Structure 1
């Protein structure tokens, strides 16, 4: 964002001074990580990263190490008993596979950190304000597949192997609650906006069910009701917490909207129904709309009043001149030696983009939307189509006082496949992308032009490191920093404002 202030340096002087404030990006050094386990704390004051069996906490202002913990390598008793070879059980304390951390995460209040070992079958918890405090959860004979924090920051959810159950461990009481037969190990659950209710996709007597549990009452069952699906793919709770969207597996394009009481409000299926089912579903931040996409390169926008489509976006190789088209400059990394900023090329007039040919004879064809993500206010929808893996489509949604005519606003074209793209969690018009090379890419509509009006800008930003390819990225909660991940190393990027004065 650039702005210029022009005026006399002194009332008696005729000379002018131009003060220009420009946002730049400051990068940290490279640090090691394992398993891509790197995250900002919710308050953005610390950065957590795991390296094999070690958890490291750094301060974001200086990146000095604040805490270091090593997990207890002893596997749970159940994991030891289930080990078929006694010699392996004896050596398990030094086996790097059992020592490695598979999951690491902050509690929502930044007070605690969990570090889980799937191979060892345990979760260890550390306290940021007390380096000597620790707690350990042994997951038993059912094993461990995933461990996550509940919104209350004092309960840990452990998903067992084979879909046997979900265990809720309380750090306050030291007790556990159990829910049997979850359908999925890595999805199919969500919390109400206030964190009180927990919704879980379950399978009972070969039928898909939804369970609603009261998290404030030790996850007591409130009600259980059919999901109206024959083969549940996943669920998504609306931001308001009033509605649940559930949809079928990949062989049937059908979505159902239900209340928390289990009442079916509506069902949606396009006409004619596509050959394959739904890939992505995303609620609007206000809960007013629901974006639904499958393998047919169409995105349906459903409103919450009629629960029917109000508009449909369809991928096209032809882009009109009314759309802002930004293209990554050719060989810009070599020209800039990977340092500094460089604007995208803005293409004029209608353009044609390449669409990959789709082989419908193969399972899971490379087509359809692989990402739907709304910005912070819901005025923009990011869509990435697998048919055009190097392009990012940004669709504009009008404000409530404008005529409702959503449209394609901008397209960002790159030389390599986009691996990750995420909106800034605070700024409504700020997007960051990465393509697996020594750079990151940004788009923003908050730039101030010469006329004083805001306009959009797309930039390529080199990462000043000799060997670093940005394969993954995530924003800090305050939207001021980015974590950039390569296979074994990571760095952080922070926006800084430089002020220059020209006489």
Structure 2
């Protein structure tokens, strides 16, 4: 891999554009856009750091003092691309405003000042011309149109971070709400100015979250952390099934992930078990349970000891492939304390749904990969690969464009990759796992994200970032 220079960022606000031609990052009150082919600066903007009038009134200073409105008091807390890469959103939660910039016109700008309800989050709608602003205290969601300049409101959103979703085609906006102490779900038509289509009560006492299926036909909703119960609903609000394992675990559901085709639903709690439900019966067709023993049929890759010191963080080195049955250390868990260190912290399918990545908090240094057969093969999911590391895994991301490519980081000066697309001398595909050093004196990879084309990666430290790109092989002329 080729690495770029090190650049500054604030709040991990770094992202590739949807077309992967540009990369955006924010530094305090400044938005910077670079071209990915040369990393030269293409655009730069400084937000208008003047707080909204409502924020000024709510934080009116004492007599003979003055409210500071410099860039440090209203830094950028969110920055993101529109779906077509034409516009960039920069929001300041502290300042109570959202500013929008246009990539093709450096002089054009729009500003949204939130009212006394405040601002906790701002997101793009799929059309790339509508901004949704979530207010403080769960009061409302304000829908702003950049085309018409008008706005509409949806009251009482339950969560600003995990309680909403758009259908894959962008037609419907689904929002978890709380009305008169009851959990409800609202379906809104985005093509008709977010007009309410359906509004129904959920069969939950305390909604933890929900997940909309990739096909947009089903919604999975589940209870809070004290009750292991999940319900499958239609967009009309009809309950198709409910799931709760027997015997029911002490704590509830922690992670839920739909298969890319919507055929399966992976569910994990705090008990180191993963259940797979199918879309025909909505009952478990298989389950996985974390074990300290790994059979010889599973490929086990281990990070070489002290390889960063021996290579001085330069180049790459293959994992050690262990032979025969292996034993993994499981951390002891105290379920009498709040937020016990157990259960799955990540469920993630690859692009085609042939592999499921599971990271258990009981084994923070390990990544488990479970294989799923194609529809033409016999259904027999199994543990395929385990990746073992010296430090706890902080992030793991599937390549969005390739089915068998995974990148991981562990908060140190390296990047880890796994792939099953490597061809040996016989032309057969085999697994390969590599440790790649980041060529920088002081850089700890804490977070990673892929470009949409799957050819580039963003590596982020606390205050700096760099990018890594795959080196394309050029065939020599014959």
For normalisation by structure 2, the TM-score amounts to: 0.98
Deviation at 1:97, TM superposition (A): 2.4
SS across alignment from 1:78: helix
SS across alignment from 1:55: strand
* 1:303 and 2:265 are equivalent in the alignment: no
* 1:314 and 2:274 are equivalent in the alignment: no
Deviation at 1:361, TM superposition (A): 1.2
| Pairing of 1:61-210 with structure 2 (within 5 A) | 61-86=37-62, 90-94=66-70, 96-98=72-74, 100-210=75-185
* 1:450 and 2:425 are equivalent in the alignment: yes
* 1:425 and 2:400 are equivalent in the alignment: yes
Instruction: Give the whole-Å Cα distance in 1 for the aligned partners of 2:445 and 2:103.
Output: 29
Task: Say how many residue pairs are matched.
Answer: 478
2:221 matched residue in structure 1 = 246
SS across alignment from 2:226: coil
2:442 matched residue in structure 1 = 467
Q: Which of 406, 409, 421 lines up with 1:434 in the alignment?
A: 409
Kept after mapping to 1: 8 A contact 2:28/2:71: no
Aligned CA distance change for structure 1 residues 88 and 227 (closer, same or farther; 3 Å): farther
Q: What per-residue deviation string (whole Å, max 9, x for no partner) do you get for residues 411-438 of structure 1?
A: 0000000000010001000000000000
Q: Which of 464, 468, 471 lines up with 1:496 in the alignment?
A: 471
| Pairing of 1:405-424 with structure 2 (within 5 A) | 405-424=380-399
For normalisation by structure 1, the TM-score amounts to: 0.94
* 1:263 and 2:266 are equivalent in the alignment: no
Instruction: Give the whole-Å Cα distance in 1 for the aligned partners of 2:318 and 2:474.
Output: 20
Q: Which of 342, 347, 351 lines up with 1:372 in the alignment?
A: 347
Moved segments of 4+, more than 6 Å? none
Kept after mapping to 2: 8 A contact 1:321/1:348: yes
Kept after mapping to 2: 8 A contact 1:339/1:464: yes
2:31 matched residue in structure 1 = 55
SS across alignment from 1:162: helix
Kept after mapping to 2: 8 A contact 1:211/1:225: yes
Instruction: Give the whole-Å Cα distance in 2 for the aligned partners of 1:425 and 1:66.
Output: 26
Q: Which of 167, 182, 207 lines up with 1:232 in the alignment?
A: 207
Deviation at 1:451, TM superposition (A): 1.6
Kept after mapping to 1: 8 A contact 2:266/2:277: yes
Larger Rg: 1
Instruction: Give the whole-Å Cα distance in 2 for the aligned partners of 1:143 and 1:345.
Output: 52
2:299 matched residue in structure 1 = 324
* 1:32 and 2:8 are equivalent in the alignment: yes
Instruction: Give the whole-Å Cα distance in 1 for the aligned partners of 2:327 and 2:459.
Output: 32
Q: What per-residue deviation string (whole Å, max 9, x for no partner) do you get for residues 110-159 of structure 1?
A: 00000000000000000000000000000110000000000010000100
